């Protein structure tokens, strides 16, 4: 264990083995830090916050401070961070609220770049990348392997599925299904996140998703009906995951159907 003499560790804090804490850091009395984690200079960690093993927390991060919610009245709330995450400079991570389950949770192997904000009751999966200046409002849910480009705000209660990618400087106010790419202000679907899928997925799964995407978003039929039909056909587990997300979406899916040649001919006539 290596703790700089200017760091403040309140009585009651639980510090694991081989933890490094830099100059002028503050660790509150209800904080737990797992083995091998490093905490940078001037970092603030307070509240009922549990941090797992082998995380790297850089300088001036503020972790576990009270939710930015006017309804918060001092209830017991938690922030739980998994293992092997990288949390860069000036990030802000808030715990949950009573109305949202009282827990904000970050999984394993995520990269949160500078000035990222995770609002109250956010649930993040594993291996996500949030570029500089990404801000997640309260109750946002991210799956695994989600990538969000820099300076993108995400509206409260939005759900982003596994392997989805959101372009930089977008503004997202609706749900993005797994495996998809969205961008723009307001963000809309642009297709599948093929670059990400090719790194992690077999060709046959990608081909099945391509076919399902065309049927869902490009053929002019009601989205929910198509998703339900594909679920009944039970094509592949990945296609089922895509369709289940659509069927259960509460904020809707942002997309614009492409005009077909027939529609263009009708307009010309």
How far is 172 from 207, CA to CA, in rounded Å? 27
Q: Which of 121, 126, 162, 175 is catalytic?
A: 121
Enclosing domain of residue 242: 198-248
* Spatial contact of 98 and 75, defined as CB atoms under 8 Å apart: yes
Predicted local distance difference test score (pLDDT) of residue 80: 99
Note whether residue 177 is domain-resident. no
**Whether 35 is catalytic:** no
96 and 208: one domain?
no
3-state secondary structure 51-78: ECCCCEECCCCEECCCCCCCCCCCCCCE
Q: Which of 42, 60, 120, 139 is catalytic?
A: 120
71 and 136: one domain?
yes
How far is 194 from 22, CA to CA, in rounded Å? 41
**Whether 121 is catalytic:** yes
Q: How many helices (H) and strands (E) does the chain have?
A: 5, 27
**Whether 155 is catalytic:** no
User: Angle formed by the axes of helices 203-217 and 237-248, to 10°?
Assistant: 30
CATH number at residue 231: 1.20.1180
* Spatial contact of 106 and 88, defined as CB atoms under 8 Å apart: no
Q: Which of 138, 149, 161, 167 is catalytic?
A: 138
Looking at the 3D structure of the chain, how many domains does it have? 2
- Strand, coil or helix: what is 122? coil
Note whether residue 147 is domain-resident. no
Model pTM?
A: 0.95
Enter the tokens of residue 237: 């587990």
How far is 99 from 175, CA to CA, in rounded Å? 21
Q: What is the pLDDT along the chain (269 residues), one digit of tens a residue?
A: 899 999 999 999 999 999 999 999 999 999 999 999 999 999 999 999 999 999 999 999 999 999 999 999 999 999 999 999 999 999 999 999 999 999 999 999 999 999 999 999 999 999 999 999 999 999 999 999 999 999 999 999 999 999 999 999 999 999 999 999 999 999 999 999 999 999 999 999 999 999 999 999 999 999 999 999 999 999 999 999 999 999 999 999 999 976 544 444 344 43
How far is 6 from 45, CA to CA, in rounded Å? 15
Task: Name residues whose C-beta falls within 8 Å of residue 261's C-beta, 6 or more positions apart in sequence.
Answer: none
Enter the tokens of residue 70: 């006017």
Note whether residue 169 is domain-resident. no
Enter the tokens of residue 33: 């830090």
204 and 125: one domain?
no
């Amino acid at each position: 264990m290596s703790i700089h003499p200017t760091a403040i560790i309140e009585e009651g804090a639980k510090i694991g083995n081989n933890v490094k804490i830099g100059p002028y850091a503050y660790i509150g009395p209800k904080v737990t830090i797992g083995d091998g984690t490093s905490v940078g200079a001037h970092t603030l960690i307070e509240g009922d916050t549990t941090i797992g093993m082998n995380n790297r927390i850089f300088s001036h991060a503020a972790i576990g401070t009270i939710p930015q919610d006017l309804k918060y009245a001092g209830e017991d709330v938690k922030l739980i961070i998994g293992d092997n995450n990288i949390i860069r400079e000036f990030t802000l991570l808030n715990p949950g609220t009573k109305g949202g389950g009282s827990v904000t949770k970050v999984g394993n192997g995520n990269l949160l770049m500078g000035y990222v904000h995770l609002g109250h009751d956010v649930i993040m999966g594993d291996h996500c990348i949030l570029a500089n200046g990404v801000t997640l409002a309260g109750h946002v849910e991210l799956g695994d392997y989600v990538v969000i480009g820099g300076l993108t705000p995400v509206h409260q209660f939005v759900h982003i599925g596994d392997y989805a990618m959101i372009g930089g400087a977008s503004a997202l106010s609706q749900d993005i299904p797994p495996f998809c790419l969205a961008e723009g202000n307001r963000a809309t679907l642009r297709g599948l996140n093929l670059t990400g899928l090719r790194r992690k997925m077999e060709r046959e799964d990608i081909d099945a998703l391509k076919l399902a995407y065309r049927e869902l978003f490009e053929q002019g039929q009601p989205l929910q009906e198509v998703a339900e039909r594909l679920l009944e056909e039970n094509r592949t587990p990945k296609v089922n995951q895509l369709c289940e997300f659509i069927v259960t979406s509460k904020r809707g899916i942002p997309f614009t159907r492409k005009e077909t040649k027939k529609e263009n001919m009708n307009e010309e006539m």
